[in-house]
Amino acid sequence: MNKFTTALTAGVLAFAPMALLAEDSSDPIVIPIHNWSSQIVMSHVVGQIFESMGNNVEFVTTDSQAVYESVRLGDVTLELEVWEGAFGASFRAALEKGGLHDAGDHDAVTREDWWYPMWTKDACPGLPSWEALNECAAVFATAETGDKGRYLDGPVDWLKHGQERVEALGMDFVVVNAGSAAALWAEIGAAEADKRPVVVFNWTPNFAEAVWPGEFVEFPEWVDGCDKDPAVGPNKDALYDCGNPADGYLKKAAWDGMKDKWPAAYDVLTKISFTNPQIAEMARLVDVEEMEPEEAAAEWLEANPDVWQGWTS
């Protein structure tokens, strides 16, 4: 028994300094990771910046919609990519309930709209105009849609209003909702094999730009109120008769408690701002160069010291 106690004490003493060392840095800042590369790499980039300041950082994998509830509760400290189109609704809902706040915009703008891979242009040379698209609707027909073209919209919960737009502009298209981003890629990937023309929902910045060059369809330009006032836009009696804004925001969000708990890190977070090319480069390192996200982040930090060192000083 005595021996056992001695051994135990020795063990505890041996590990104590290490435990102290780990706890020395305050609680870890919890950064959420979702399932697309640019966000994963950006999270690691910011995490490594925080670490270089002596903070303790931890990453947690979460659903990109459910994350706002966790930020609100403080289980997750921040969110680096709040897309206006995709997550605006969830973000605003959480904002209303309280617990998190807007921590500033990135320079990058986001765009989400109807999109086609380049080979589609061979079958429908008038693109990117939407009228031209409508004229070759038959090219996009599938077995299930008959003569009408098929437009593959994002998952319903992204609330993209593809159906409303088709009706408002009187287009010969049937809207089919994919169930996930992966489903969109699978459909483009399948079309790529025999260069079948497709028109799908897509967004930028996104890894897909590097894999499949393509363009957005040009719809009547977005005017404020197009989603609220029928009089706005070409069709005087309908909502959603314009394209989506070509310069949607990309925000950062922070838990309300972050400011007090990690003031220095919070200060950096508000200064952080990436541009579209920077985000594309981060995604490229993973998607094309096949690096692991941590390595891609380290590489990016090394290659772009002038971008981020200003934020920490």
Partner 1 sequence: MADVTSDLKAGTSGPAQWSRGTWASALLIVAVALTALRYGGLLPDALHRIPEELIPPFAAWLDAFFNFVKDDLGLLTLTRTLTEGLEWLLDVTANLMFGKRRWPNIGPIPWTAIAGVAAVIGYYLGGWRMALLGAGTFIWTALIGQWKIAMETMSVLMVAAPLAFFIGLGLGILAWKYVAVNRVIKPILSVLQTLPFFTYLLPAVIFFKVGPTAGAVATTIYAIPPMILMTTLGLQKVPIEVVEAGNMSGCTKWQLLRHVYLPSARTEILVGVNQVIMLCLAMVVLTAFIGMPGLGAKLLAMMGSFKLGRSFEIGVTIVLLAVTLDRMSKAWVVKQPVHFERDTPWWRKHIVLLSGLGVFVFFCIAAQFIDVFAEIGRKQNFSQGKEIDTLIKGFLALDPVQNTTQAIRYVLNVWILNPFRDFLLSIPTPAFILLVVAFALSLGGRRPAIYAAIFFGLVALSGWWDRSVITLYSVISAVTLALLIGVPLGITAARSEKWSQRVLLACDTAQTFPSFIYLIPAIMLFGITATSVVMSILIFAMVPLTRYTIEGLRTVPPEMTEAADMAGATRMQKLVKVQFPLALPTMAVGFNQAIMFAFFMVIIAAFIGTQDLGQELQRTLAGTDLGKNFVLGICVSLMALTFDLTIMKWATDRKKALGLPD
Task: Select from 32-40, 46-54, 120-128, 274-282 the region that touches partner 1 (CB under 8 A).
Answer: 32-40
Q: How far is the CB of 236 from partner 1 (least distance, A)?
A: 31
Question: Is there binding between residue 8 and partner 1 (CB under 8 A)?
Answer: no
The SS3 call for residue 276 is helix
- Which of 194, 237, 260, 302 binds partner 1 (CB under 8 A)? It is 194
Task: Select from 55-63, 106-114, 265-273, 300-308 the region that touches partner 1 (CB under 8 A).
Answer: 55-63
- Which of 6, 9, 35, 52 binds partner 1 (CB under 8 A)? It is 35
Q: What is the C-alpha end-to-end distance of the chain, expressed in Å?
A: 56
Question: Is there binding between residue 90 and partner 1 (CB under 8 A)?
Answer: yes
Tokens describing residue 191: 């079309």
Q: How far is the CB of 68 from partner 1 (least distance, A)?
A: 8
- Which of 189, 213, 234, 277 binds partner 1 (CB under 8 A)? It is 189
- Which of 163, 177, 273, 304 binds partner 1 (CB under 8 A)? It is 177
Which one, 7 or 66, has the nearer CB to partner 1? Answer: 66
- Quick one: DSSP state of residue 289? T
In this structure, the dihedral spanned by the alpha carbons of residues 157, 163, 168 and 170, taken in order and rounded to 10 degrees, is 160
Q: How far is the CB of 103 from partner 1 (least distance, A)?
A: 19
Question: Is there binding between residue 46 and partner 1 (CB under 8 A)?
Answer: no
User: Pairing state of beta strands 111-117 and 214-216?
Assistant: antiparallel
Tell me whether residue 139 is exposed, middle or buried, using C-beta atoms within 10 angstroms of its C-beta: 0 to 12, 13 to 18, 19 or more: middle
> How many helices (DSSP H) and strands (DSSP E) are in the chain?
14, 10
Q: Compute how many other C-beta atoms are within 10 angstroms of the C-beta atom of residue 36.
A: 18
Q: How far is the CB of 132 from partner 1 (least distance, A)?
A: 24
Question: Is there binding between residue 211 and partner 1 (CB under 8 A)?
Answer: yes
Question: Is there binding between residue 297 and partner 1 (CB under 8 A)?
Answer: no
Q: Give, for 95, the enclosing helix (H) or strand (E).
A: helix 84-97
Euclidean distance between CA atoms 9 and 6, whole angstroms: 5
Question: Is there binding between residue 75 and partner 1 (CB under 8 A)?
Answer: yes
- Which of 118, 186, 231, 303 binds partner 1 (CB under 8 A)? It is 186
Question: Is there binding between residue 147 and partner 1 (CB under 8 A)?
Answer: no
Q: Compute how many other C-beta atoms are within 10 angstroms of the C-beta atom of residue 170.
A: 10
The SS3 call for residue 59 is strand
Which one, 73 or 231, has the nearer CB to partner 1? Answer: 73
Peptide bond connecting 293 to the previous residue in cis, omega within 30 degrees of 0:
no
